[in-house]
Structure 1
Amino acid sequence: MASSTGKLCGPCEARYKTTTAVSWCMDCDDGLCSPCLEDHKVNKASKKHQTIPVGQYVGIESVSSLIKQDCEEHDQRLTFYCLDHCVTACALCVPEKHKQCTSLKPIEELARNAKSSAELFEIEKGIKELDNTVDELKNHRQRNIDTIKGQRKTISQEIKSFRKQINKHLDKIESDLLKELESKSEQNISEINILLAKLKERGANIKSLGKTIHQLKESLSDVQVFLATKGFGEKLLEEQEWVATVCTQNEAKESVLELSTDPQLKQMVSDLKGFGMIHVVRNPCQIKTDAWEQQRAQLNVPMTAAKDIDQTELELIREISFGVGENIKDCVIVNDGRMVFADHNNDKVLVYNPEGQLSQSISVDKSPFGLDVISSITVAVTCRKHETINIVNIDDCDIKQKIKVGKPCCGLSYHDDKLYVLTVHTGIIEFDLSGNITRTIPVYVPDGEGYLSYYKDTFCYSCYQNVGEKNIACCDNNGREIWRLDVADSGVTADNYGNYFASNYSNGTVQIVSADGKKAKQLLDLYDLHIRTYLEGVFFDKNSSTLLVSCSEIARLYRAI
């Protein structure tokens, strides 16, 4: 019967039995029931095999194809790794394909401390960054939907407003034209009525003249009628001339009302197809996706063994000058190589390009001190006087968020969506990115000038107490002290192996301390270089193996070799 994981015991299946697997052999790539597991552990050929609970295997089954332990060509165990070709090899591959290779290493040697290797750390970091990028892209697209809805509403209102303007204008034009029609029609009717009144009067006179002639004919003699006829002829001629004159005047002409539309209006109606057009402009996506590719290009075969600090040296790449009287505190390097500094006196975050030129100067809260990188475009900075953390977008040059600490704060470190802040007389306060305090880790912080660094569930922090009193301490995730040394009192940062670079404010030196705190080596003495300035922050860029050192008035970028 199959288990809830669906995995069956391989040896039992070979015997035509169906048995639930409780463990999985990573070397045999096969499931084992309880009895077969016991046999597997005592069998000479398999007793050294690695077995894990089957439920645990289900969780990593999707990547099991990446774990190839046998050579597909020779069916032999893969026991070597060629650094020249970046491939695994079995004992038979070596003489056939890697006879001339000078960097052939046993896999077991390279795999020591693989779980804490720099490459795995960077891959985990890359996965987290890619996950953050996908989330950022999803949020970006969702915000775009909200923007489109807002734009749709705005444009709809603009169209309706434009329509109202057109309607209002057309109503006015129509009203004016109707008024003109009314005026001209009334004017012509009035003129005609006046003429009609005159014609009525003249018509009455003419009719009266006709009646008079009729009466004369009945009552007067021919001689009298003859003499009156000449006078009647003159009166008739006079009336005829008046009528003839009237017929030539405008009042007698026929009035015809006609509408003549504006040719431009006709053309507009003919040509007008709509109010306008809706265009979609595609702006390039600004989300950066190549940060992990840049890191991956710099990664080689895992260098998992702890590095002896005696092998570490510093080689100067460039120096940046801030000016006399400045007071630069912490520093960081983002993934694209830009360098960021906390300008304590001027309440600024300064961004320099990889070539060492100032590219951005961003105003933040009072007295910026500790810095750490959140993403390729975002840093966090503590501001001591305002007792806040500012989340700053160094591309847009603005503060995205302010988190109230409420206590004097200095050193800062970011890991796994958590901000860790060194606070005076309290310890290390853990915040989520929404600004909520999730816990407090009790460590002794006597002064507000300390720095903080996180590396794989451990914290390293510095304290400056009094002149001549300096401390750098390492504690676990719960604040239990692991070691404490008196070699530094200022900036701290971890390398790829858990060793710590630490600066000394008072004597201008930079030390490297082994991960276990048992060894320390001085790497740099600015006073020997005749550089009289106070050392502050240090930041190790794990991608480029470079160390950035900030002082009050200058900064120096070194290659760690």
Structure 2
Amino acid sequence: MTSTSIYICSICTDEEHAITWCTKCEDFLCTDCAKHHQRSKTSKDHNTISTRDYRNLPNFMRQTSNLCKDHDKKNEFYCSFHSYHCCIECIADKHQQCKDLKPLADSLKDVKSSANIPLLKNNLKDLNESYKEVLHYLGERIKTINNQKDEGIKSVRQMRQSLDVHFDKLEKQLNDDLESKHSKLKSDIEELVRKIDNRAKRVDELRVAFSTMEQYASEQQIYTGLIEFENNISQESKYLEELDSGNQLDNITLEIIIPSALQSILQEVTSFGNIAITLAPKNFKCKNIGKNQAQQLVSKVHEMEHIKPSLMNTLSVPIRFTLNIPDCQIYFDSTNEKYTLLLLDQNGKRMMQFSSEGVFIKHVMTFTDEPHNLCHVTGDIVAVTFRGVKKVKLVEVEKNKIKKDIPLPHQCFGVSSDGEVLVISHAKDRKMIILNHVNYEDKDMSKQTLEDICVDRLSLFKGKIYGTNRIENEVYCFRITGEPLWTFTNKYIRQPEGIAVDRNGFVFIASNGNNRIMVLSPDGKTSKTILSENDRIRGPGAININGETGMMIVSSYIDGGDSAFIFKI
């Protein structure tokens, strides 16, 4: 329809060159069609611009259309929940349950006189000026460091002249020392090689003798010979064991280590010099752009369609372990300042720590009962529940010890915390207990019980409790006061276990009975399968998400035991 410089009339069939573009009809018009368009009752009030002005519009504006891409009908509505313009067919197709639909005309009304236009225009002006100031500042910095470089080269050359003789002496001393130590190491290794070579030859001789014995010796000779061979083999095996357990085969690295301290240039030179880069505060300040910005014209909402997990790592389970992972937690290791993974293992009654790359770090704690659920409380403290046990343990991960036990009136199952309260549930007793100040002494801890709530696993997020019911195949959402908000169930969720909520309020479910990871919308109305057996998800039970990093860990049954996958969402 268009080239890089010429637009063709959208109306007539003579391929006339267009001179104007109608912003309402979104049509190019030649001279004759433009006159007719201006006289017509239906279009005489439409705004038009010249094709030259149209060509100067940004590309993304030229590609904007008022026609629905799916149905080729005029967009007449705007859905604020999905941040989407839609036509009448879109509403019937995808937006029947959306409550935030409004006429598109209301959103476009008075848009040209909106307070955002002068604000954004001023912001662009300020941005332009700020970037010019930054570029000027950086240009001056380049000049300064160029001068500093020239001065440094000059200083080094002057120093070099007085240090040549001294460095020659240091070089000879270092080379002599290197030669001496290398000679000693080489001699020791050659001596070891000689000893091992003699033993290897001895073993070859024994092999030949053994073969001869098999062919020609009598029974009495074989009986006597076997005892002798056994003694010889035992001696050689013992030597190899001693060799393996000792330090004779340790890797030896021969390298020159240059000290970093510089005491005196001419007397105790240990290095030629160091380049020091010192940071100092800048002597100007960038402008604050858009701090008082008016409300956005269109609110941006995270969409479920954008949730597509990408595999980062797979848990590397040591061969000696066969795990049964009921729960997991993404945990920030403050000592090493990095995120790690905490896993419960029911087979070994323990808590284990892995790196975010899936590499085993350490055993945190071994328990007397089977651990079942855990959650981060605060700092390095996590809470752990146990099968059939009426208490919660608070564990200090960095110190590998139990901080305290919290006895409760019923068995504990699901557990979650937002740093302020700790919520513990058990579906059988249809109860949920909320504890405040769980990191303090018992006397400072208040307790609240919510009755008739049947939840197995749970997750606490922004004053709401999200939980799963494995028997009923349902997912629930309650206020922290116990008031029910919504219940979700459909054919794609079977025996739901682990549950996690991301920073946008989307709810992730480990559907154990059909090998799926599901995500639910924050209002509990829609769902989507994001992982399945095609992604090697089998019998998932544990799931956890870190809102800051977007990291998600999911347990899965692999090769005879549980393992886990680490995803980015």
Would you say same fold, with TM above 0.5? no
Quickly name the TM-score band, shorter chain normalised: 0.3 to 0.5
TM-score scaled by length of structure 1:
0.45
TM-score scaled by length of structure 2:
0.44
Query: Which of the pair has the greater relative contact order for Cα pairs under 8 Å at 6+ separation?
Result: 1
